[in-house]
Structure 1
């Protein structure tokens, strides 16, 4: 970590120096911050990731099946298959002769891995069998269309530390999908006014509407994953300012501020943090220049 000092003169004429250090006890943005719009569900044998306190599901399929069950009606799920909309060509037909529902696939017979539901058994068993047979992509399609839920996949790279993103890593050995982040239309419309295209200083503000709420949702979910990745990778810092005591000839700590998340480092980070916290004077590499 580059902790080189930057120097400047305060209005009072006192010589002050600034440097940065890594924050070794940063806040967890998933639990110590308010206002997250996404639910981050992850599964990993070695790490507790994302919103782990809310994740009681055994794996991603258990989670996705329960989410679909809770947010989409039984009739919608069954009609999706009956109307031949499933990407894996599922079929659902009633055999009047045997008095059973037959779950199958086009150009094939019954699917042996899924139970055949008798007429006098509970409808929810039939729905469970259909949900188990659907591809994950179709489950997310149903959730988006009928529950206003959108998601992004989460990938983890684990090698001498861990890092997370939504696009994946070019390393099949040390990386892979670890979960999802998802949100819904109601959350976005009620809590997110919009987003900036570019940065907050020079960017253009785009207001959330019925037409663009999905784009706003993806933007905010990506931002939450980026911030969480900075937490995972230790890109959280503190800025320390020290004032020179002319009587003792030593530097005395004046102030410090911790918990600054940034993907910058070195001089760029010092200057960004210094500007953020009101140090607007010109920064110098040496005390003599200041």
Structure 2
């Protein structure tokens, strides 16, 4: 006689309709420009320009020959304000796209596509910090890298869901888990104890 566990099967399924994480309430803002891809945050350029115009004079902008439509100029001006924490964004475009905050080894199909930033004022407010020490800035860097990692998972299709079937009938499902490892992407928290045991022991099917 089959046990209850044997009657249950779990599929880890690629999510073909994943939500763009840049629609979430993120700490940071992405500013990107690419002739073929719509990347980053819709409000990114406007938010960066607002911070620039609040903190730099026209004379300062003239000195750097500022072009508000040119993303590298926006990044340079934002750095000049001293009011933001910024990391570059690099895109590798070859049979799909992938993004990170450090350069790719292959320079032929990759390059800087923009930057991600957060104002220091927002960090102080969100984190309840009065001072931004070097250690705290490193923590913010890690947060920005984390946001880029999640966005890259979206760009590369590394978003998943699960289906639980019992006696050939689907009994449970959930979607929108970023990252391919079901042991760490949050899927386990949504499974029944029997289904969880199957996944933890590797007894599941991955469907792409």
SS at match of 2:65: helix
Residue number in structure 2 paired with 1:21: 13
Distance 1:232 1:138 in 2: 26
Distance 2:143 2:17 in 1: 25
SS at match of 1:37: coil
Give structure 2 stretches of 5+ with no counterpart.
Answer: 67-71
Distance 2:32 2:155 in 1: 14
Distance 1:56 1:141 in 2: 14
Contact 1:71 1:143 in 2 (8 A): no
Distance 1:73 1:271 in 2: 48
Distance 1:71 1:213 in 2: 25
Distance 1:177 1:16 in 2: 47
Distance 1:224 1:168 in 2: 17
Structure with greater contact order relative to length (CA < 8 Å, sep ≥ 6): 2
Residue number in structure 2 paired with 1:54: 43
| Displacement of 1:286 | 6.8
| Displacement of 1:71 | 3.4
Residue number in structure 2 paired with 1:166: 101
Structure 1 residues 100-119: aligned runs within 5 Å = none
How many residues matched?
Answer: 189
- Bigger fraction of residues in helix: 2
Q: CA RMSD in A?
A: 3.0
Residue number in structure 1 paired with 2:156: 233
Could you give the per-residue CA deviations for residues 62-87 of structure 1, whole angstroms, max 9, x where no partner exists? x97x467413243xxxxxxxxxxxxx
Give structure 1 stretches of 5+ with no counterpart.
Answer: 1-7, 58-62, 75-123, 194-207, 245-250
TM-score scaled by length of structure 2: 0.77
- Over 3 Å counting, the alpha-carbon distance change for 1:167 and 1:56 in structure 2 is closer
SS at match of 1:234: coil
Structure 1 residues 96-245: aligned runs within 5 Å = 124=58, 126-132=59-65, 139-144=77-82, 147=83, 149-192=84-127, 210=131, 211=133, 212-244=135-167
Residue number in structure 1 paired with 2:171: 254
Residue number in structure 1 paired with 2:69: none
Contact 2:90 2:103 in 1 (8 A): yes
Distance 1:237 1:37 in 2: 24
TM-score scaled by length of structure 1: 0.57
Distance 2:51 2:124 in 1: 21
- Over 3 Å counting, the alpha-carbon distance change for 1:46 and 1:16 in structure 2 is same
Larger radius of gyration: 1
- Over 3 Å counting, the alpha-carbon distance change for 1:72 and 1:257 in structure 2 is same
Residue number in structure 2 paired with 1:247: none
